[in-house]
Structure 1
Amino acid sequence: MKLKFITGISLLLIVLAASCQSDEQMEFNRYYSGGSVIYLAHCQNCHGEKGEGLQALIPPLTDAAYLKNNKTSLACYVKNGLKGKITISSRTFEGEMPAADDLSPIEIAKVLTFVTNSFGNKTGLINLQQVQANLEKCH
């Protein structure tokens, strides 16, 4: 009986905690959790489970300063791929990241929210409107 009572109280507290989240936090959580699934399917094979990259071949996703400084270009990198030299964490990488042109803008927003808030990064929500605006500026 005590176990049922404790379980019931625990569930009630979880429901109350979830209902106390702001709309912004719930939106962030939706983007972040959806992005984790997309990262697993499209990015993890090259960038690694922890965003560590692959030695000198594939850059890590752990450099918060790089991600923050290039935030408006990230959607273009995902959508169109990336060729040539790139310097991250004082290391130069040269290769080609394939385009993920099969991802929709909302999927790009979700995976970018996940990446920019994982692996030691804390950038906040990158929403659909931001990604759409950034994709319009791709060259």
Structure 2
Amino acid sequence: MRRFLIGTLFLLLLATIIYSCQDAGQIKQDVYYVNGRDLYIKHCQNCHGAKGEGLGTLTPPLTDSVFLKSNREKLACYIKNGIKDSIVINGIKYEGTMPAFPELYDIDIAQLLVYISNSFGNKQGMYTTESVATDLKNCK
């Protein structure tokens, strides 16, 4: 029993050291990622798929890092306001309508974007509520 307690305390101490060595920005991104995953499951997964694969020619995939990078400033607008025009992703034209999610707050959109842009083969880093607010002000 004593060895078990000592071993448990050692593992707890080790975990604390490892966690405390993480950068505060990385911890924030990790929190956004987890919350974004839950929002994705609730609002996006039905159309874009569990793996971001999309739905044939109806719903585009979220696996195209090039599209996500080149449209980074528009992504918050797409989520908040939806998409009514056709878009081309990876050479395929998608003409379906994406619904708007006006009920989502800037923090929700930032968390969704962190999840989407760091999942499905994407590695694009952090989105902040400030960047989402700026992007939403510039929506066209």
Could you tell me the TM-score, scaled by structure 2's length? 0.94
Name stretches of at least 5 consecutive residues in structure 1 with no aligned partner.
none
RMSD between superposed Cα atoms in Å: 1.1
Q: CA deviation at 1:13?
A: 1.4
| Whole-Å separation in 1 of the counterparts to 2:57 and 2:50 | 17
Between 126-135 and 18-27, report the one with greater CA deviation: 18-27
Percent identity over the alignment? 46
SS of equivalent residue, structure 1 residue 95: coil
Query: 1:39: which partner in 2?
Result: 40
| Whole-Å separation in 1 of the counterparts to 2:32 and 2:77 | 18
Query: 2:13: which partner in 1?
Result: 12
Q: CA deviation at 1:60?
A: 0.3
For 1:40, give the aligned amino acid: I
Size of the alignment, in residue pairs? 139
| Whole-Å separation in 2 of the counterparts to 1:46 and 1:86 | 16
SS of equivalent residue, structure 1 residue 87: strand
Q: CA deviation at 1:30?
A: 1.6
Off by >4 Å, runs of 4+ in structure 1: none
Could you tell me the TM-score, scaled by structure 1's length? 0.95
Between 2-11 and 78-87, report the one with greater CA deviation: 2-11
SS of equivalent residue, structure 2 residue 126: coil
Name stretches of at least 5 consecutive residues in structure 2 with no aligned partner.
none
